[in-house]
Amino acid sequence: MLSTTLSTHSVTTLRCADVEARSSLHDPKIVQMPETRHVPVMVPEVLRALKVEPGGVYIDANLGEGGHTEAILRASVPDGTVLGIDADNEAIASAVHRLSGDEGMVSRLTAANANFRDIQAIAAEAGIGPVDGILFDLGLSSLQLDTEERGFSFRRSDPLDMRFDVRQTVTADDIVNRYGRDELADVIYQYGEERASRRIAAAIVAARPIQTAIRLADVIAGAVPRRGSRRIHPATRTFQALRIAVNDELNALEAGLTQAISLLKPGGRLVVLAYHSLEDGIVKNLFRQEATDCICPPERPICDCGHAALVSLVSRRVIKPARAEIEGNPRGRSARLRAVERL
C-alpha cells in the first residue's frame, strides 16, 4: 500500500504505514497538514464528462488537495487508478494526507511533483498510457490561497512569491520590483486583461520597493479606486497577471493539453475546468481545432493542411456550475467546463 511520488529527476515512495513513524520527525508537510478546506468544483459534472468506470486509468493534471482525485478513485472502485500531477509539493502532501485514512484508495494513487506541461514524459515515467481520462482543473486551491508566505492572496502581508513550484527562480517580487514600467504594464494588460494597466504599473514603480501582497494591493487600489458596486477587488486582475507570468501558465496549458490528447485511448475523455477567459480561450480554440479535419484558412480553395480530427466535442456549449453550487462554494463561480473524446 503505497503512493509513489515522481519527479523529473528521481522516483521515491511514500508508504501510508510510514506516516505515523514520521510524526516523531515533525514533518509538517506530511503529518501535521491542516484539515483540508478546498471544495472541489463541479464534481458530478466532472465524473460524467470523464465517464469514470471501474478499473479505469486516469490522470488528474492538477492534483491540488485531492478533491477530484478522491471522487475519481471512489467512482472507479475497486481497481481504478489515478496519476496525480502537481507542481506544488505542499499540495501533493495535502492530497496524500486527505486520502491516507483509506488504504485501498491511496494505494491506487501515484503522485508526480512536476508541471503538467511535461504530462507525456510524466506518464511515461509512471509507466501508464494510453489512459481513459484526463482532468485539468486550472483553479487555485484553498491551500495556495490561504497558506501564508505564498503571496497568492492580496488580503495578507505575505511576501510576493506566487510560485507553484518553489524550485523556480522567478517570483512575483522580481516582476513587481525589477520590471520596467512599460514591461510591467504589458504583463498586467496581457495576462490580467486590465484596462488600467499603465496607470497601475506607474503606481507600482513609484511605490517601490513593495515587499508584501497587501501593500501591493493597496497601491493598486489607490491607482484604480473601486467604482460603485464593483464585485471584485481592484487588485484581482493584476494578481492574476503576476501569477500567470511567474508560472508561465498559458504556455504550459497549451503544451499540456496537446500532449494530453495524445495520451488518450480511443473513447478516452479530456476534461478541463477553466476559471478566466484567457485559459478558457486556449481550451476552446484547441478543442475546436482538434475536432476539425481541415484547418486551412477559409479563403483557401483546396485543403492542403493534412490535418485530421483527433477528438470530438462532448458538448458544444460550455458547462457552468449550478446556482446551488455557487451559493455553497463561491470560489467556483467562474468555473467553465469543456470536454472532448478521443476518436
Element at 266 (helix H, strand E): strand 264-274
Contacts 24+ apart (CB under 8 A), 27-35: 29/89, 29/90, 29/93, 30/93, 30/96, 30/97, 31/97, 33/93, 33/94, 33/97
Spatial CB neighbours of 66, under 8 Å, sequence gap ≥ 6: 36, 84, 94, 95, 96, 98, 99, 109
Q: What does the domain layout of the chain look like in residue ranges?
A: 2-143+250-342, 149-246
Q: Is it true that 2-143+250-342 and 149-246 share their CATH fold?
A: no
- Give residue 141's pLDDT band: very low, low, confident or very high (50, 70, 90): low
pLDDT, tens digit, 9 for 90 and up, residues 154-184:
777 889 999 988 888 999 999 999 999 999 9
pLDDT higher than 60, residue 5: no
CATH superfamily of 149-246: Putative methyltransferase TM0872, insert domain (1.10.150.170)
Q: What is the pLDDT of residue 89?
A: 87
Q: In what order do the strands lie in the sheet with 81-86?
A: 11-15, 2-6, 109-113, 81-86, 57-60, 131-137, 264-274, 336-342, 311-313
What average pLDDT does range 73-82 have in this prediction?
A: 96
Q: What is the pLDDT of residue 24?
A: 29
pLDDT higher than 60, residue 64: yes
Q: Which CATH architecture best describes the domain 2-143+250-342?
A: 3-Layer(aba) Sandwich (3.40)
Q: What is the pLDDT of residue 297?
A: 84
Print burial letters for 18-44: b (CB count within 10 Å at least 16), e (below 16). ebeeeeeeeeeebbebeebebbbbbbe
pLDDT higher than 80, residue 294: yes
pLDDT, tens digit, 9 for 90 and up, residues 302-323:
888 888 999 999 998 999 999 9
Full-model pTM: 0.87
